[in-house]
Structure 1
Amino acid sequence: MATIQAVLRKKGNAQNLYPITIRITKDRRTSYISTGQYIDQKFWDAQNKKVKKSHPNAARINRLVLKKLSEANDKLLDAEVNEDFISASEVSESVKGKDKIDFFVLADLHLENLKNAEKHSQHLTQKGRIAKFKKFVGKDRLHFKEITIFLLKNFEGYILNQEKRKPRTAVNYMILIRKIYNLAISEGLAEHSNYPFGKGKIQIRIPESDKVGLSIEEVKLLENASNLTIAQRNAVNVWLISFYFAGIRVSDVLQLRKSDFKDGRLLYRMNKNQKIVSLKVPEKAKTILELYKEHSFGNNDLIFPYLRGTNFSDAQELLTRIKTSTRTLNRRLELVAKQLKIDKKLSMHIARHSFGNISGDKIPIQMLQKLYRHSSITTTISYQSSFMKKDTDDALDKVINF
């Protein structure tokens, strides 16, 4: 007697999402078939063995589960009709359909899980990378055994030489391909013997990034700049607010509201890691914030106008507006840099590097960790190492100044 049913496994992933699987029990032996779908526990109907209607993709996932259940049941029926012995693991291997689930099918499932977890920025970025890899391969189906060292080396060369992208970008592509390959191995869809990553194969090394920040003199040029257009002045003000608050990210600056400022402090929750931030409002920041008070309509209104009219409950729309606004700000900052003869690429991201550059060796690393809102001091040390030059400068002087 065999039983086949859909179950939600008890072990979740890093996002606290749980895998939907097909459990096959025959002759007191159990085997599982992965559907590739992960959901929050609250969306699983344990009584009816299906995804609740409240899940945004309930209908599609339930159709997939029903298809897997039907395939497993058909396999068992065929065995009974032919009076063949078949074990639970054999049914599982047959239904898994290793020849059906290729790299791009699994990649789509991975993207779907990101979307369901509302990781819209990651979803958008990784969707573009998968599309680029598919275009390079030149076909819609790619079996995992076809992902060879030779193919990956050629793709890496294409990104670096044809696309003229930076080494870090090429590494990001390799990390994503490796992630999906690892998922395939964990789900029994690919053999580890064909794995193209690791020692003597494709080794992923994250290149050290070249962090360049403005100097004190260059920041002063921005603070005292005149003859700017209104649009350029607004872009500079957004940049300075980011810098004055230890380089908070542009996505957070654009979403600052009047209600985030209380008793001379900035209190807000970071979008990247949901940490609560509490920082004193410097006098320089107060001066800029005062300029925008008269344009605010209420305590919950945005400080800067770039995201006004956005539906903040629509994460996809919010992400799109932030990206568009950031590109607009960066274009205007480039014009300002040219006018002020700042020989560095001025962008919103460089505000954080500028804070690191000016702080240099002046502030204890533990305090910088708090200002940067890093979870680990190792992250702070790694980030700040590009700007801490005093020890190496002194050491150099001791050798050559004779």
Structure 2
Amino acid sequence: MATVKILLKVDKTNASGEAPLYIRLIKDRKPKYISLGFSINPKHWNAEDKKVKKSHPNSQRLNNFIAAKIAEAEGVALTMETQEKGISTRKIKEAVLGKSAESFLKYADNYIYGLEKNGQVATAIKAKSIIAKLKAYLGSKDLLFDQLTVSFLKAYERYLKDTVKNSVNTIHLNLRVIRRIVNEAIREDLLPYEKNPYLKFKLKLEKTMKIYLTEEMLQKIEDLALRSGSRKFHHRNMYVFASYAGGLRISDILTLKWKHFDGERIILDTQKTGSTVSIKLPLKAKAILELYQDNSQTKQNPEDFVFPILKLDKNYTDPKVLYQSISSATTYTNKDIRAIGKEVGVIGNLSFHSSRHTWATRALKKGMRIEYVSKLMGHTSIKTTQIYAKIVSEELDKAMDIFNS
């Protein structure tokens, strides 16, 4: 039960010798203080009775005011504790002050701004688009943390599915970003842990089929006749290179510079996670790099991009410029990779990311230990890599079906 007391803070005595009066709320040994908005000289304060002495000219009026505020605080605390188990002193203080609940939308905007300031451009842009979608659903209304309930999340989930026509996994991404912002607010003590709506709301996720190429299909892409120097030619080479070079992501392939290649291996900090990877290149990957090496007597500029996709006249030290350039280049690359896949007879829509799946499944089939595959792919957890091990295991199970025929 919360206790409510009046307190004269003599440690905050001002130049006039007056100290401020506060209401002190204590619950679970956690105190919160509410200023009464006035100060008095300590000589006029009766510390034992918690009253202004009669020696003060306005003692009667001040004591009536203090008694009313104490009664109000006790009443609010009692009501809130009766209605909600585990209510915090912070919430009680806010109620006494008449302070409304924090705006989730305002907090989300500040959270996104923080991401931008920290250089997490991709994460910020993704979160901004997701919050923009939420704002469109709300119209002109605000969304307070107190209104972000299980019922609200269920209603918003239905809206994304039925009205926006989002897929299950797109809805999962939207609600996961909102959850991340809620968790950040909890860490900052803006929202009590027990008020987290996600404690009772489960996110839904559908398993997606990972497209990867067999050795034969990859060879067909390698052998496909393309005009040298064309955009599709470069995109094909990037795809094949990634399929041999540890399944590097397209963001790392696009920003790969000659300074990252020491003649034997690629050493770079990945764009997505910032983790450092060191990949010894097999002969086929080296052969692709040789296509782009300057054969003249001049030394290769270490700051030049290996693959001539990103324009050299842009300031890529600006995270927003880099993100937008990578995003645009990825769109064009995936368009060409899809077309190449159709030309060689790949079933399904091929994307550049399938080169990563292709490398992982091929590495495991060739006997590479899963922890090595995980390390080379820059995975933060081996659980992510185990998805590929499961794919290979399922293929082996299917292969054994030959004994049933």
CA contact (8 A) 1:264 1:280 kept: yes
1:107 shift after superposition: 0.9
Amino acid at match of 1:210: M
Report the structure number with the largest CA radius of gyration: 2
CA contact (8 A) 1:31 1:92 kept: no
Aligned-pair Cα RMSD in Å? 3.5
The offset of 1:91, in angstroms, is 9.9
> Cα gap change, 1:182/1:299 in structure 2, threshold over 3 Å: closer, same or farther?
closer
Q: After superposition, where does 1:148-297 map in structure 2 within 5 Å?
A: 148-187=149-188, 189-190=190-191, 195-199=196-200, 202-228=201-227, 230-294=230-294
What does 1:2-401 correspond to in 2, within 5 Å?
75-77=35-37, 84=66, 93=94, 99=100, 101-187=102-188, 189-190=190-191, 195-199=196-200, 202-228=201-227, 230-294=230-294, 298-307=301-310, 308-363=312-367, 364-393=369-398, 401=404
Instruction: Give the AA of the match of 1:338.
Output: K
What is the TM-score when the length of structure 2 is the normalising length?
0.72
List runs of 5+ in structure 2 lacking aligned partners.
1-8, 13-21, 41-60, 74-88
Q: Which residue of 1 aligns with 2:76?
A: none
1:349 Cα deviation after fit: 0.9
Q: Percent identity?
A: 26
* Structure 2 SS opposite 1:211: coil
Q: Deviation of residue 383 (structure 1)?
A: 4.4
Q: CA deviation at 1:172?
A: 1.4
Name the stretch that deviates more: 136-145 or 212-221. 136-145
Instruction: Tell me the amino acid that sits aligned with residue 239 of structure 2.
Output: W
Q: Distance in 2 between matches of 1:115 and 1:323?
A: 17
Report the equivalent of 1:68.
none
Secondary structure, counterpart of 1:267 in structure 2: strand
1:397–1:269: structure 2 CA closer, same or farther, 3 Å change rule?
Answer: same
In the alignment, residue 281 of structure 2 is paired with which amino acid?
V
Which one-letter code corresponds to 1:375 in the other structure? Answer: T
Kept after mapping to 2: 8 A contact 1:2/1:26: no
1:170 Cα deviation (Å)? 1.0
CA distance in 1, matches of 2:210, 2:257: 30
How far apart, in 1, do the equivalents of 2:136 and 2:231 lie?
39
TM-score (norm 1): 0.72
What SS does the aligned partner of 1:262 have? coil
Confirm or deny: 8 A CA contact 2:226 2:233 kept in the other structure.
no
| Equivalent position SS for 1:172 | helix
Cα separation, 2, equivalents of 1:380 and 1:292: 32
Distance 1:95 1:383 in 2: 56
* 1:333 aligned counterpart, secondary structure: helix
Structure 1 residue ranges without an equivalent (≥5): 5-24, 34-71
Check 1:129–1:90 CA distance in 2 against 1; reply closer, same or farther (3 A cut).
Answer: closer
> Counterparts of 1:250 and 1:360 in 2: how far apart (Å)?
21
**2:45 aligned residue:** none
- Report Cα offsets for 1:326-383 as digits up to 9, x if no partner: 1111112222223333223121111101112333443222222232222332222134
The alignment partner of 2:182 has SS state of helix
SS in structure 1 at match of 2:129: helix
